[in-house]
Structure 1
Amino acid sequence: MTTTAEIVTFRLKAGSDPQAFAKAAQDMMPFLQGTGDMIARTLSCDEGGLWTDHITWTSRAAADAAAKEMFKRPEAAPFMALIDPEGMDMRHATVHLNPG
């Protein structure tokens, strides 16, 4: 199986509460897990305020399908509303090493 990493980097909109954002991200987990294709997810933020959402999927097709479906989901609205779309970057990469 060829797994795919989805790596999204972004900043929050000015004045957004990072704790509220983390909760909104957590509220999306049932949807992501419910796809049956999400393997793992980490969400991090560096000291400069750059966030990284890193999701490992069973395949690129699964990642694309989840992204398409996500915009239809009501639980995604609070999460997306806090992200500044300027400078947001999404990329996908084939996973070559996963220690566990």
Structure 2
Amino acid sequence: MNNIIEHVTFAAKSGCTDQEMRAAYDLSNEVAQAIPGFIQRTLAKSADSNLWFDIVQWDSMEAAQNAVKAFESDPRTNAYVDLIDFEHFELKHLTIIAP
């Protein structure tokens, strides 16, 4: 079975600082790491825009789908979700073909 990359691209809400985003991400990462099938997660920001990239590797599509449910139900993700401008949000699941 191939691993899955969950690739989320989003803009932060106006006024959000990098430090606020990092703190909210760290709290939400506690949730991600506890989900069965979690492998790794990275947060990155574009050098020339307000676009952020949340990249998570899961061991299966089922784990990735369960993660979405967990994020919706766990209050530790609220601060992170509240910083996202959902007018500029895209989530994709990608199958890893080669390392």
Q: Please confirm whether the aligned pair reaches a TM-score higher than 0.5, indicating the same fold.
A: yes
> Would you tell me which structure has more helix in proportion to its own residues?
2
Indicate the residue corresponding to 2:51 in structure 1: 50
TM-score (norm 1): 0.92
Q: For 1:14, give the aligned amino acid.
A: S
Partner of 1:2: 2
Give ranges in structure 2 of 5+ residues lacking alignment: none
Q: CA deviation at 1:7?
A: 0.2
Aligned residue for 1:27, secondary structure, equals: helix
Provide the residue aligned with 2:91 in structure 1.
Answer: 90
Match of 1:21 in 2: 21
Q: CA RMSD in A?
A: 1.0
Q: Give, in whole Å, the separation in 2 of the partners of 1:85 and 1:29.
A: 20
Shift of 1:97: 2.1
Runs of 4+ in structure 1 over 4 Å off? none
More off after superposition, 31-40 vs 50-59: 31-40
1:30 matched to 2:27: no
TM-score (norm 2): 0.93
Could you say which residue in structure 2 is the equivalent of 1:11?
11
SS state of the match for residue 96, structure 1?
Answer: coil
SS class of match (2:97): coil
CA distance in 1, matches of 2:31, 2:8: 18
AA in 2 matched with 1:87: H
SS in structure 2 of the partner of residue 28 of structure 1: helix
Q: How many residues align?
A: 98
Aligned-residue sequence identity (percent) comes to 31
